[in-house]
Amino acid sequence: MQSETSRIEAFSDGVFAIAITLLILEVKVPASPQGGLGAALLRQWPSYVGFLLSFAFIGIMWMSHHRMFTLIKRTNDTLLVLNLLLLLGVTVVPFPTAVLAVHLGGPEEKTAAVLYNATFVIIGIMFNILWRYAVARRLIDPSALRSAASMSRQYAFGPIVYLICLALAWVSVKASLALSIGIAIFFALPPGLLVRRK
């Protein structure tokens, strides 16, 4: 029997797949390399950094979305709208990634990093709103309440830490991006892992 949320998951998977694929389009082939092709390719390091960061972030967002909908068993119109708003944030990711890649290491890198981190603050908020709505309306599997509680605790950190990254970008772009990587690793972990260790 087909799950009630299967169409949401299929559509969402398609959006994640397109967004993650579009990232590579910002990594350009040098047209007229000065000093040789190798040097020109090395000068594009910001594009590689932006691509790898956003590839990891979108991949981990997809993992989180998959985990979420493993527990969500029923849907309604509001959940559909909230999921679309989350996907709106996901589709935007290639743009701030391109801005970061162009300006990383330059005089406008702080502004680019602020835009980049602000995008993930919004996405983190949307993840929380979607998940907490599903829990509040009892759209999740009743047998998975323990897993849901672990997930709620983990998701609560997202917007807060991304806000810290956003503020940190004004002080140090490198530190902000390093903390972002740490957040990505944290969200890649299964929600119940820290609870089991405790």
DSSP state for residue 113 in the 8-state scheme? H
pLDDT, tens digit, 9 for 90 and up, residues 136-186: 999 998 887 888 888 888 888 888 888 999 999 999 999 999 998 888 888
Taking each continuous run of H as one helix and of E as one strand, the counts in the chain are 9, 0
Rounded to an integer, the average pLDDT of 42-57 is 90
CA atoms within 13 A on the CB side of 123: 23
pLDDT, tens digit, 9 for 90 and up, residues 75-84: 999 999 999 9
Residue 128 has pLDDT above 90, yes or no: yes
Rounded to an integer, the average pLDDT of 4-19 is 94
What predicted TM-score, i.e. pTM, was given to this entire model? 0.86
Rounded to an integer, the average pLDDT of 48-52 is 91
Q: Say what the pLDDT of residue 1 is.
A: 36
Q: What is the largest CA-CA distance in the chain?
A: 63
Rounded to an integer, the average pLDDT of 15-34 is 87
Q: Say what the pLDDT of residue 145 is.
A: 80
